[in-house]
Amino acid sequence: MNDQKRWIRIVTLLMLVSIWAVSPSRAQDEDCLSFDVTGHRVCGEFRTFFETRGDLEIFGYPLTEAFNDPTRGLMVQYFQRARMELHPYNPEPYRVQLGLLVDELADELGYNFPPATEIPPFNTALRRYFPETGHTVMYDFLEYFDTHGGIDIFGYPRSEIMYEDGYVVQYFQRMRMEWHPEVRSGSRMRLTNLGEIYLDRFNIPVEFREQSRIGNIIQLYVTASVRNVITGQWGEQTVFVYVTNQWKQPVAGSAVQLIIHYPDHDQSYDLPQTDETGFSRYDFELQPSVPGQKVVIDVQATHGSLSAQTQTFFLPWW
């Protein structure tokens, strides 16, 4: 009798373990990718799309949980640079698609795109014309377009190459590309955080946003300037650096490094960490240079695992 009871307990325990192992909640947890910096997860088909279509470089961090959007009748999730949409009745691989954020923001933000009728319809090895929207994609923008997902990720071009916010940019239906010449290693192409802009402009159910850890820094920006743009061969120069986060708020405690490119050598300096206003500065003695030849200063700010780069310069003249 005791042996029978013992076997009943063993069988019951095994059944419970089996049920626990295949329970939906555990399977869902295993199917999710968590991001501590924003406190959100990417799960299921959205996770697969995220990991296979560009990851953080293309989408950025998740800014909401996935939720049913009553205005679209779809399950959606917002990221820094995109909105994923689940279209359950589409065949693979078109069940997950990206929202047309540029199209939706165009009127709200007053985007002024040049008329497509002004664009000559021809193709070269470095230029591709899209009759669907009447615009072209060229040079490094075209290379990035082709190597990072093409129409599925970016949509069709909505503008030509333009100069905005201090950068050369181009609008696509789903994203905006930015060319950053100050980046000295790796890709110089960056994507605008249109998901953040969209969430700031339109009402999204607060319960899907308030989980975000607003105090955490998920992106770093740095600007720099010099006290004297025109200098002599000798004397003192000062560099001012300002570091902010994704909400343009000052970031304290960032490490800052300068690399000054003189004609015959480079000089590196480590600056004091940024203060509570996001500022750091450094005074240094000028070294001999060529009159009339620009001296470029590379600036890199680092905060934890995040970094950002920019450039400034001065011109020795006498």
Query: pLDDT (tens digit, 9 = 90+) per residue, 166-212?
Result: 889 999 999 999 998 877 777 889 999 999 888 878 766 655 555 44
Q: What are phi and psi of 26, to 5 degrees?
A: -70, -40
pLDDT at residue number 114: 66
Cα dihedral 137, 141, 144, 148, rounded to 10, equals -50
pLDDT in tens, 10-46: 333 333 333 333 333 323 345 899 888 788 899 999 9
pLDDT of residue 203: 64
pLDDT attached to residue 213 = 45
Name the residue with higher pLDDT: 6 or 221.
221
What confidence tier does 7 reach under pLDDT thresholds 50, 70, 90? very low
What is the average pLDDT across 206-221?
Answer: 62
Mean pLDDT of the residues in the chain: 83
Asked whether the predicted pLDDT for residue 214 surpasses 60, the reply is no
Task: Indicate whether 9 pLDDT > 60.
Answer: no
The whole-model pTM stands at 0.64
Question: Residues 104-107: contacts with CB within 8 Å, 24+ apart?
Answer: 104/198, 105/194, 105/197, 105/198, 105/201, 106/158
pLDDT tens digits, residue range 114-167? 666 667 778 888 999 999 998 999 999 999 999 999 999 999 999 999 888 788
Q: Which CATH code, of 2.60.40.1930, 3.40.30.10, 3.60.15.10, 3.50.50.60, is assigned to 221-316?
A: 2.60.40.1930
**The two structure tokens encoding residue 278:** 């996001």
Write out pLDDT tens, residues 62-104. Answer: 988 899 988 888 999 999 999 999 999 998 888 999 999 999 8
DSSP string, 205-251: -GGGTTTS-TTS----EEEEEES-SEE-SSSEEEEEEEEE-TTS-B-
d(CA 175, CA 166): 18
Distance (Å, rounded) from C-alpha 76 to C-alpha 86?
6
Taking a C-beta distance cutoff of 8 angstroms, is the pair 258, 240 a contact?
no
Distance between CA atoms of 258 and 239, rounded to whole angstroms? 9
User: What pLDDT score does 202 carry?
Assistant: 78
* Amino acid of residue 241: V
Rounded mean pLDDT, 298-317: 92
For residues 10 and 221, which has the higher predicted lDDT (pLDDT)? Answer: 221
- The angle formed by the CA atoms of residues 149, 150 and 152, to the nearest 5 degrees, is 75
**What letter represents residue 33's amino acid?**
L
Q: Tokens for 206?
A: 């607060």
pLDDT at 262: 92
At 315, the amino acid letter reads L
Nearest-angstrom CA–CA distance, 96 and 106: 23
